[in-house]
Amino acid sequence: MGDKYLKLSELNLEGQFLSFAGIKSGKAKYLQLAIASGNLHIKLPKELRSTLPCSLIPGEQIRICGVTKVNTHTGKIKIKAHQITQLNTCPNQELSSPPQAKIMVCQKSGCVKRGGKGLLSEIEKTLCDRGLLDKVKIEHTDCQKRCSSAPNCVLQLGKKKYKKLHPEAIASLLENHLT
């Protein structure tokens, strides 16, 4: 923040998360926090910018540890977060990226002709019925280079990959992985 800023103090704030701001290339630079005296604009550290949008929900109660700095020329105060913790989870649990679960479904012509669209909708319906749809990322991919076994779908749980699975098997693996 340069020479024109003077560090005031360390702070701990608790409030309601409102939204992200300053989003560039999918990463939020700021978050807005509602506290009793009004709304605050808080700068996020670079290491949290890519993981927070996945884990914070508007309206959620959070705690922010950070520092305040004042511009010696204008008197304007800036707040920068160092740590952000959700208050409705375990007290010592810090925000991190959720367990990575991803389903990649080929949407190239060969797979689509052999049931790719139906497979995709069946996967979405099965996951929705079991309440898992919001816990997994579904990607439409290009050719997976296994055209002879079309339609192709890959379930990735962490570093493990599963191929040629029925939607029910995908849901069962996800339930076991996420619990």
The last residue of a domain, from among 86, 113, 128: 86
- Based on the domain organization, do 134 and 75 belong to the same domain? no
CATH number of the structural domain spanning residue 150: 3.40.30.10
Counted domains in the chain: 2
- Based on the domain organization, do 121 and 163 belong to the same domain? yes
pLDDT in the model for residue 177: 83
pTM for this structure? Answer: 0.46
pLDDT in the model for residue 97: 46
- Based on the domain organization, do 72 and 117 belong to the same domain? no
Show the domain range for 50. Answer: 5-86
- Three-state SS string across the chain, please? CCCCEEEEEEEEEEEEEEEEEEEECCEEEEEEEEECCEEEEEECCHHHCCCHHHHCCCCCEEEEEEEEEEECCCCCEEEEEEEEEECCCCCCCCCCCCCCEEEEEECCHHHHHCCHHHHHHHHHHHHHHCCCHHHCEEEEECCCCCHHHCCCEEEEECCEEEECCCHHHHHHHHHHHHC
pLDDT < 70 regions, the chain: 1-8, 88-100
Tell me, yes or no, whether 95 lies in a domain.
Answer: no
pLDDT in the model for residue 144: 92
Q: What is the mean pLDDT of the chain?
A: 83
CATH number of the structural domain spanning residue 35: 2.40.50.140
